[in-house]
Amino acid sequence: MSKPKLIRVRDIMKDNFLKINGLKTVQEAIDSLRQADAHTLIVEKRHENDEYGIVVLADIAKNVLAKDRAPERVNVYEIMSKPVLCVDPDMDIRYCSRIFDRFGLSTAPVIQKGQVIGIITYQEIVLHGLCSTSSQH
């Protein structure tokens, strides 16, 4: 039995995310997401000792659309998750999957030296990580 191939988060993460100021409106965020064809917003730190936040499409659906709130009247900071759990780019995707399961995540920023360098989701883990290991057997 061969040892499973090590696949790191950096090997399959996406760089298709946007950084946004938390004071922007949800409407501005949606417009930016459409333009960039992205699905994840990283909410910028306000100062050096602050933490990143995150907004995914489900947050907008649950906290704006489902509650019949006007997206032009809701600020991003009102619906973001903060602080956000992040993963290291050198983490094995099996451990990343365990973190997702344990904490009920579906998306996490990949942070290196205090900077967001990518986004990892279950989609990348399964379609690009897991499938690339199973094709070797």
In this structure, what CATH number is given to the domain that contains residue 89? 3.10.580.10
Residue 2 placed within a domain? no
Residue 1 placed within a domain? no
Average pLDDT, the chain: 92
Beta strands in 1-137 (DSSP E): 18-20, 40-43, 53-56, 107-112, 115-121
Per-residue pLDDT reduced to its tens digit, 62-114: 999 999 999 999 999 999 999 999 999 999 999 999 999 999 999 999 999 99
Residue 15 placed within a domain? yes
75 neighbors 24 (Cβ within 8 angstroms): yes
The domain total for the chain is: 1
State the residue range of the domain holding 116. 9-134
More confident residue, 17 or 64: 64
Per-residue pLDDT reduced to its tens digit, 49-72: 999 999 999 999 999 999 999 999
The pTM (predicted TM-score) of the whole model is 0.86
Residue 4 placed within a domain? no
Helices and strands in the chain: count of H runs, count of E runs:
7, 5
Residue 3 placed within a domain? no
Q: Which among 125, 106, 126 is positioned nearest to 40, based on CA atoms? A: 106
User: How would DSSP label each residue in 80-91?
Assistant: -BSSPP-B-TTS
Instruction: For residue 34, count other CB atoms closer than 10 A to its CB.
Output: 9
What pLDDT is stored for residue 133 in this prediction? 53
